[in-house]
């Protein structure tokens, strides 16, 4: 039997697909009106975006595509790169945007200890950034794609 297996060469293990189930967005900035909190991106200061992602199967990479409503100047895809397959089914991914909407980093981590901060001054709405998220299994096979339908409001927070 050993000789038979040795003659087969290397054995390849194929991973099952990964399926994204949900994505929820918060950030370290928000505006509040009539008791309703809306998380935003501040265009003129660093903003940390928290994406709570739920999935089934082995997640080994997550890509997030940020696209402007009225411009393509700051459109970007951020990726975690590949990591050890994660079967936990839920994780928070953190994206950091610098002033001017240029994403600076993307990390996979535990729940962050940061809390959101209210914008006290009168912020000016500059538009919306739409987010599309895709996961990948360890073989590089893409998952379904989830897009946040309402987009993320972008403000000059001054």
Q: What is the pLDDT of residues 92-139, one digit of tens each?
A: 998 888 887 544 344 555 544 445 555 555 677 778 888 889 999 999
Rounded to whole angstroms, the Cα distance separating 144 from 111 reads: 24
The CATH class, in words, for 15-156 is mainly beta
Taking only the tens place, the pLDDT of each residue in 143-158 is: 999 998 888 888 888 7
Q: How far is Cα 77 from Cα 147, in angstroms, rounded to an integer? A: 13
Its pTM stands at 0.76
The strand pair at 124-136 and 142-147 is best described as antiparallel
Q: Give the pLDDT score at 1.
A: 44
Q: Would strands 47-56 and 19-27 be described as parallel, antiparallel, or unpaired?
A: antiparallel
Could you tell me the residue ranges of all domains in the chain? 15-156
The terminus-to-terminus CA distance of the chain in angstroms comes to: 73
């Amino acid at each position: 039997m050993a000789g038979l297996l040795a003659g087969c060469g290397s054995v390849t293990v194929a991973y099952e697909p990964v399926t994204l189930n949900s994505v929820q967005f918060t950030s370290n900035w928000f505006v509040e009106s009539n008791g309703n909190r809306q998380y935003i991106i501040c265009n003129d200061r660093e903003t940390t975006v928290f994406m709570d992602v739920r999935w089934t199967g082995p997640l080994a990479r997550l890509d997030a595509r940020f696209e402007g409503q009225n411009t393509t100047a700051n459109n970007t895809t951020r990726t975690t790169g590949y990591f050890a397959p994660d079967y936990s089914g839920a994780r928070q991914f953190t994206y950091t945007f610098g002033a001017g909407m240029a994403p600076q980093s993307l990390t996979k981590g535990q729940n962050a200890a940061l809390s959101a901060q209210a914008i006290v001054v009168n912020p000016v709405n500059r538009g919306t950034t739409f987010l599309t998220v895709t996961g990948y299994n360890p073989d590089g096979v893409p998952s379904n794609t989830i897009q946040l339908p309402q987009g993320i409001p972008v403000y000059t927070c001054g």
